[in-house]
Chain A
Amino acid sequence: MEPALEAVGISKRYAGCDALSGVSLIAKPGELHGLLGPNGAGKTTLLRIVLGLVRRDAGTVRLFGRAVADPLGPLPDGVAGFVETPTFYPYLSGRRNLELLARLDDDRRGQNGSRVLDALRRVALTEAADVRVAAYSAGMRQRLGVAASLLRSPRVLLLDEPTSSLDPAGAQSVRDMVRRLAAEGVAVVLSSHDMSEVEALCEAVTIIDHGSVVYSGTIDGLRQAAPAPVHALHTSDDRAALALAAGRPALRAAAAADDNGLIVSADTGSLDAYVLALAEIGVAVRTLEHRGRSLEALFLHLTSAVRH
């Protein structure tokens, strides 16, 4: 099956620094493709390049098999998405914003009204349709951004952390929607910080770190490449525990994302030795919870998020 999106060898430099260095991203029709990486890894820059917002210094982008010759040209039909929090004209209502954006895609005004209503309904914004965007919450703007993308009847959909500002119900609704779109044949590229979300949603993933791809393939393939089981560790002194881990090459540890304890990745023998060593320096282990070979552990392993 021909890929819907092929971005190959993409490089971008900003002020002498490599934001992206030979990054490739390939998404097939009907595929939910995760784009993972720590902050500043280059995920958003890659999406900007594919969406024609930023010029690439090297590489090629092909959409539906056709090369995108002008890197800053108009977005081809069937491609949609947003980067960062979607932005709209705050003095206009959500409905009016979508109507104007729809006119930029297709100036047949008569048909746009029903398309706009349908898009608003799909993101559960019908009741707030005539409220000015200035009064929208971040989550509502995010949903409006998804609606604006749906107006383009996408076959390639690029979403930059689409659930980051949503409440759990809203996030689940967006996840259900992207699943349905993928089932309809849309290639969805989902940039996310939420590794469990990507693991649950996506069948393929590209992990970027410092502007380079550190993994690209299926989620199953990534699981098989798992280095060691991961554990959540709570101690009486996490800082000292982290310092102790730094001196043990067989063990990887990092502060948990919510600064609540540590994430430790090691084989059983190394972990046993580490726990005993903690006791020797007077650090009590309060809980040690097996987390399995989750994508979070693999992500930590592959990227510089892990502090040795």
Chain B
Amino acid sequence: MTLRAITTVTGVECAKLRDQLAPRVVLAVCALGPFAFIAAMRLQNSTPDDTLFGRHVKESGFATPLVVLGFATLWVVPALTAVVAGDMFAAEDRYGTWRALLTRSRSRGEIFAGKVATAFCFSALALAVLAASSLVAGLVGIGSQPLVDLSGMPLAPARAMGRIAAAWASVLPPAFGITAVAVLLSIVTRSSVAGVGLPVVAALAMQLSVYIDGPDAPRRLLVTYGFGAWHGLLTEPPYYRPLVYGTTVSIAYLVVCLAVAHRVIVRRDIDG
């Protein structure tokens, strides 16, 4: 397996994505959704006070990306990441194209790695577009007033920008964990519906489980635990323990899911 071969496969997969409707729709929604949100906020008198930073959404444009982030981590981020990852392998079964793909000069390991790299790149791209779009929408629609953090301290624009970037970056590990889950489901079930739908449903169920009474330890083992870690970055002083813990759990999901998925794909008979 060589890096050049993996890059080649990634290039081919990206070219395929460019010609598909679903990834383009996802990126368009990521780019335009925050502007629609801000437009709705400007039309209504109330603010989403039950959401973190919701009460500040009309006071500072920097609150917008954080409100969007809080909402998106519930099910939007899992959906954004699963829409490509959950379909990437199952689509080859749906179209019957494994035969075409595996009778070229690339090994199964290289094709697996290239496809996984594409899925991760798309997840990161979708999150980056959503983050950038919500920041721009907030700044354009509301303004660049200082942001009041969770400790009640005002953050100057430059500092607020840094914290917002860190907050969005902190959801990358759990997003990648869910991407890996979607890849595994896509390979094992050979169904795009399962590959895309199950990670979203599972992530939503994990998120909702925090509202059920019970011991805290099992919740920390959920891949979605890391989605709340950004709260610690918006306090003064910031605390990082949930971030470290959530990232560790996400990496564990990622390694286990990809190891199992790789084993399945390199041993599978393409007999259908």
Contact = CB atoms under 8 A, between A and B. Distances in A.
Interface of A: 14, 45, 48, 51-55, 72-75, 77, 80-84, 86-92, 96-97, 100-101, 103-107, 148, 152
B48 interface: no
B5 to A, nearest CB: 8
Contact of A104 (B12, B98, B99): B12
A107 B11 contact: yes
Contacts of A101: 100, 104
Given A87-B95, A90-B95, A92-B19, A54 B269 contact: yes
B104 A48 contact: no
B270 A89 contact: no
Contacts of A91: 19-20
Contacts of B104: 74-75, 101, 104-105, 152
B15 interface: yes
A52 B12 CA distance: 21
B106 interface: yes
Contacts of B106: 74, 104
Contacts of A152: 104-105
Nearest to B265: A72
Given A100-B16, A106-B105, A82 B99 contact: yes
Contact of B103 (A81, A90, A106): A81
Contacts of B11: 103, 107
A89 B105 CA distance: 18
A225 B137 CA distance: 82
Contacts of B19: 91-92, 96
Given A48-B271, A53-B99, A88-B97, A107 B8 contact: yes
18 contacts: A45-B271, A53-B269, A54-B269, A54-B271, A72-B267, A77-B105, A82-B99, A83-B99, A84-B99, A89-B16, A91-B19, A91-B20, A92-B16, A92-B19, A96-B19, A101-B100, A103-B11, A104-B105
Given A54-B269, A107-B4, A82 B103 contact: yes
Interface string B1-45: 000100011011001100110000000000000000000000000
A80 B102 CA distance: 11
Interface in B245-272: 266-267, 269-271
A104 B101 contact: yes
Interface in B78-127: 95-108, 110
Q: What is the size category of the interface that chain B forms with chain A?
A: 20 to 34
Contacts of B107: 73-74
Nearest to B11: A103
Given A53-B270, A107-B4, A100 B12 contact: yes
Nearest to A104: B104
Residue from B11, B100, B106 having most chain A Cβ neighbours under 10 A? B100
B100 A88 contact: yes
A53 B267 contact: no
Residue from B96, B103, B107 having most chain A Cβ neighbours under 10 A? B103
Contacts of A75: 102-105
Contact of A52 (B96, B102, B271): B102
Given A54-B270, A103-B11, A89 B97 contact: yes
A103 B110 CA distance: 13
Contacts of B110: 74
Given A87-B99, A97-B100, A104-B101, 7 more contacts: A48-B269, A53-B99, A54-B269, A86-B100, A88-B95, A103-B8, A107-B8
B148 to A, nearest CB: 48
Given A103-B11, A148-B100, A72 B271 contact: no
A53 B271 CA distance: 7
A53 B258 CA distance: 21
Nearest to A97: B100
Nearest to B102: A53
Contacts of A100: 12, 15-16
The 10 A-B pairs at the shortest CB distance, nearest first, are namely: A87-B96, A104-B104, A53-B270, A107-B8, A74-B107, A54-B269, A105-B105, A100-B12, A87-B97, A105-B104
Nearest to B268: A72
B18 to A, nearest CB: 10
A106 B11 CA distance: 12
Given A53-B99, A86-B100, A104 B271 contact: no
A153 B270 CA distance: 24
A51 B108 CA distance: 13
Nearest to B98: A53
Contacts of B108: 72-74
Contacts of A105: 104-105
A80 to B, nearest CB: 7
A229 to B, nearest CB: 40
A104 B103 CA distance: 10
Nearest to B270: A53
Given A48-B270, A89-B97, A96-B19, A53 B12 contact: no
Nearest to B106: A104
Contacts of A77: 105
Contacts of B266: 72
A52 B19 CA distance: 29
A45 B270 CA distance: 10
A10 to B, nearest CB: 14
Contacts of A92: 16, 19
